[in-house]
C-alpha cells in the first residue's frame, strides 16, 4: 500500500511540475471521473518495471498547451501541433515520473503515440493493471492520467517499479 501512495505522489508531482513549467497551466486534482477525453497519448516503459502511462486531454486543454508552449494564437493551432504537444507532455511526465521514482534504475521508454479514439485508450494496456488513475482540471479543461503496470508474475495484479 505504501508503494501505491508513493507512486500516486510522484505521478501527481511530476504532472504538476511539467504543466506549470512547460505549459504555464496550473492543474488541480479532481475527484471527477469519466470525463470526456478528446485526445489520448501514451508511452510505454520497460526496465526494472514495465508498463504504460497514458494521458487523456480535453480538446480545450490540449489547444491551450500549444498556445502557451509555442506562443501562437488559438486560430494558428493545427491538429499536428496539438498532437505533438500532447506527445511531448506524456514523454516529459513519464520521464520525470520514472527518474523521480527510482533514479538508481535505468528505464527504456518507447516513442509516444497519439489517438483521438477513446476506445483505443480503453484497449491499451491489455494485460496490465491500472495502478493509478488521476484526474485533473483547470479553467482550460481536464486531464486524465492512467498508469498501468505489467504483472511481475501471473499471481500478482500489478508489478512494482
Residue 25 corresponds to which cell in the numbers above? Answer: 497551466
Q: Is 58 a domain residue?
A: yes
Looking at residue 76, what DSSP letter applies? G
Q: How many domains does the chain have?
A: 1
Residue 85 lies in a domain: yes
Q: From CA 28, how far away is CA 15, in angstroms rounded?
A: 10
| 155 lies in some domain | no
- The pTM of this model reads 0.86
Residue 160 counted as domain residue: no
Domain span at 8: 2-150
Per-residue pLDDT of the chain (161 residues; tens, 9 = 90+): 578 899 999 999 999 999 999 999 999 999 887 677 999 999 999 999 999 999 999 999 999 999 999 999 999 999 999 999 999 999 999 999 999 988 899 999 999 999 976 555 555 555 567 789 999 999 999 999 999 998 653 333 344 43
Give the domain CATH number at 90: 3.40.1550.10
Residue 33 is classified by DSSP as -
161 located within any domain: no
Instruction: Name which of 116, 134, 119, 125 is nearest 58 in CA terms.
Output: 116
Amino acid at each position: 500500500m505504501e508503494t501505491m501512495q508513493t507512486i500516486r505522489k510522484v505521478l501527481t508531482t511530476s504532472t504538476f511540475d511539467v504543466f506549470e513549467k512547460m505549459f504555464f497551466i496550473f492543474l488541480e486534482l479532481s475527484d471527477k471521473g469519466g470525463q470526456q477525453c478528446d485526445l489520448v497519448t501514451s508511452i510505454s516503459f520497460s526496465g526494472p518495471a514495465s508498463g504504460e502511462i497514458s494521458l487523456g486531454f480535453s480538446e480545450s486543454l490540449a489547444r491551450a498547451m500549444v498556445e502557451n508552449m509555442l506562443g501562437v494564437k488559438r486560430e494558428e493551432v493545427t491538429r499536428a501541433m496539438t498532437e505533438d504537444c500532447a506527445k511531448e507532455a506524456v514523454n516529459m511526465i513519464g520521464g520525470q515520473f520514472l527518474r523521480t521514482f527510482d533514479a538508481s534504475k535505468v528505464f527504456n521508454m518507447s516513442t509516444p503515440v497519439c489517438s483521438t479514439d477513446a476506445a483505443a485508450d480503453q484497449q491499451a494496456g491489455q494485460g496490465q493493471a491500472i495502478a493509478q488513475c488521476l484526474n485533473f482540471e483547470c479553467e482550460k479543461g481536464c486531464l486524465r492520467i492512467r498508469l498501468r503496470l505489467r504483472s511481475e508474475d501471473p499471481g500478482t495484479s500489478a508489478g512494482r517499479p
